[in-house]
Amino acid sequence: MGSIDRFSLLHDSLLSIIVSSLPFKDAVKTSTLSKDWENVCKLTRNIEFNELFFIKFDQPHEIVHSQRMAFLDFMKKGIENHGENAIDKFSLTMSAHNVFSEDIDRCIRFAIRNEVKDLELDFTSPTWNKDEFYYNNFVASVDLSSYVYEYSGLQSLKLYSCDFSASEMVNFHSLKEISLGFMRVSICAIEALLTNCEMLESLNFYKCWSLDEFILKGEYLGLKKLVINRCHFKSSTFRINAPNLKVFDYHGSLFDIDIQSPALDEVNLDFPLELGCQSHGSYYLHKLLKDLPSPRVMTVCSYWLQGITFMLNSCPNLEHLTIEIVEKRYMNFFEPVFPIIPEKYWIDTIEAYKCVKSHLKKVEIKGFKVKGNDNSIDTDGHNVWQYIVTD
pLDDT at 381: 35
Report the alpha-carbon distance of residue 318 to residue 266 in Å, rounded: 10
Structural domain contains residue 389:
yes
pLDDT at 165: 93
pLDDT at 25: 63
pLDDT at 36: 63
Structural domain contains residue 102:
no
Structural domain contains residue 282:
yes
Domain coverage including residue 293: 272-391
pLDDT at 340: 66
Structural domain contains residue 265:
no
Side-chain-side CA neighbours of residue 191 (13 Å) = 14
pLDDT at 350: 57
SS (H, E, C) 64-133: HHHHHHHHHHHHHHHHHHHCCCCCCEEEEECCCCCCCHHHHHHHHHHHHHCCCCEEEEECCCCCCCCCCC
pLDDT at 376: 43
Residue 228, beta-bridge partner list: 205, 250
Q: For 86-138, write each residue's pLDDT tens digit.
A: 889 999 999 877 778 899 999 999 999 999 999 999 999 888 876 665 567 88
The domain total for the chain is 1
Chain centroid, CA 75 distance in Å:
26
Number of Cβ within a 10 Å radius of residue 144: 19
pLDDT at 333: 58
Report the alpha-carbon distance of residue 317 to residue 294 in Å, rounded: 6
> CA-based Rg of the chain, rounded to a whole angstrom?
25
Short-list 208, 204, 168, CA closest to 185: 208
Q: How far from each other are the two terminal CA atoms of the chain, in whole angstroms?
A: 50
Answer for the pair 180, 204: CB distance below 8 angstroms, yes or no.
yes
Structural domain contains residue 42:
no
Neighbour-count burial for 321-347, b at 16+ CB within 10 Å, e otherwise: bbbbbbeeeeeeeeeeeeeeeeeeeee
Residues of the chain with pLDDT under 70: 1-13, 15-43, 130-135, 273-281, 327-357, 369-391
- CA distances 96 to 66, 109, 204, Å, are 14, 19, 25
pLDDT at 377: 44
CA–CA–CA angle 237, 243, 247 (5° rounding): 75
Structural domain contains residue 303:
yes
pLDDT at 110: 93
Full-model pTM:
0.82
Structural domain contains residue 57:
no
pLDDT at 351: 57
Structural domain contains residue 385:
yes
Report the alpha-carbon distance of residue 293 to residue 277 in Å, rounded: 27
Answer for the pair 145, 105: CB distance below 8 angstroms, yes or no.
yes
Q: Is the dihedral of CA 313, 203, 50, 30 positive or negative?
A: positive
